Amino acid sequence: MLKMGKSFDRNYNIRIPFLDGYYNIGVYFNKKSSFLLFSVDPDFTDLKSHNKNIKINMFKNLSSSKFCETFLELHNYRKSSLDIVNQFDKIKPEYYQDISFKFNETLNLSKIEVDDKVFYDTVTLYGFTITPYNDEYLFLIAERQNIIKRINRKIVRTTGLQISTSSSIAILDEFHEESKTAGKVINQIRIPSEEPIIIT
């Protein structure tokens, strides 16, 4: 059983279908900070499904994930009143047919007014899957938007959770390699010279 310290005082649970069973996922956070942590509990009546080479990975840095690097646009921005690191922006247009949303949920924790402007302290959950492997792959992004009223600053942080079978990881690796190859081809495109070509 996962034991929480004093850093976490809130928990939000979701139940996600996976293969022939479910995963019960807990998102732990603190109402006054941007910290996030996951708990993952399998619920399979058929143990053979649960033992089907399933891997679970957590990413504190989304940009280190092959899934995010390949399929998603992440947003980073910093100024005196706003600090954003690896916020989900959008699915890359070239992968609209390959990636699907499983869910998109937002919890409004509190409403805060700063200088006549209204902000919301939130936790947002984005669930993605690789379309042909809908029951074998999940990438969950938990985004915490925390307002620090005392210093008039909004902090946005994210954490990722990946649950996958060996088959879905294999196709993810193929997409990742293809995206790197496609990037090299684009970089190698040369602008045609304006000088005439002389054929002798």
What integer pLDDT is reported at residue 67 of this predicted model?
Answer: 98
Please determine, for residue 183, whether its predicted confidence score (pLDDT) is greater than 70: no
Largest CA distance in the chain: 81
One-letter amino acid identity for 21? G
Which uninterrupted H or E stretch holds 49? Answer: helix 47-50
Query: Mean of the per-residue pLDDT values for the chain?
Result: 86
pLDDT average, residue stretch 90-119: 91
3-state secondary structure of 77: strand
Residue 197 has pLDDT above 70, yes or no: no
**CA-wise closest residue to 139 among 108, 95, 104, 109:** 104
Closest CA to 66 of 99, 31, 101: 99
Q: Provide, rounded to the nearest whole percent, the portion of the chain with pLDDT above 70.
A: 84
In whole angstroms, give the CA distance from residue 98 to residue 92: 10
Q: For residue 118, give the H/E element and its range.
A: strand 117-130
Q: Which run of H or of E encompasses 169?
A: helix 166-187
Q: Is the pLDDT score of 102 beyond 70?
A: yes
As given in the structure block, the two tokens for residue 62 are 């989304």
State in Å, rounded, how far the first CA of the chain is from the last one. Answer: 80
Closest CA to 172 of 139, 125, 127: 139
Spatial separation of the C-alpha atoms in residues 70 and 92, rounded to whole Å: 8
Residue 25 token pair? 């996922």
Convert the pLDDT of each residue in 69-98 to its tens digit. Answer: 999 999 999 998 899 999 999 999 999 999
Share of the chain above pLDDT 90, in %: 63
Order of strands, sheet of 36-43, starting from the edge strand that comes earlier in the sequence: 10-18, 21-29, 36-43
Provide CB contacts within 8 A for 132, sequence distance 6+: 98, 171
Give mean pLDDT, residues 20-37: 90
Tell me: pLDDT of 6 over 50. yes
Look at residue 126 in the predicted model and tell me its pLDDT: 98
- What is the chain's Cα-based Rg? 21
Check residue 101 and give its pLDDT. 95
**Cβ-contact 22, 40 below 8 angstroms:** no
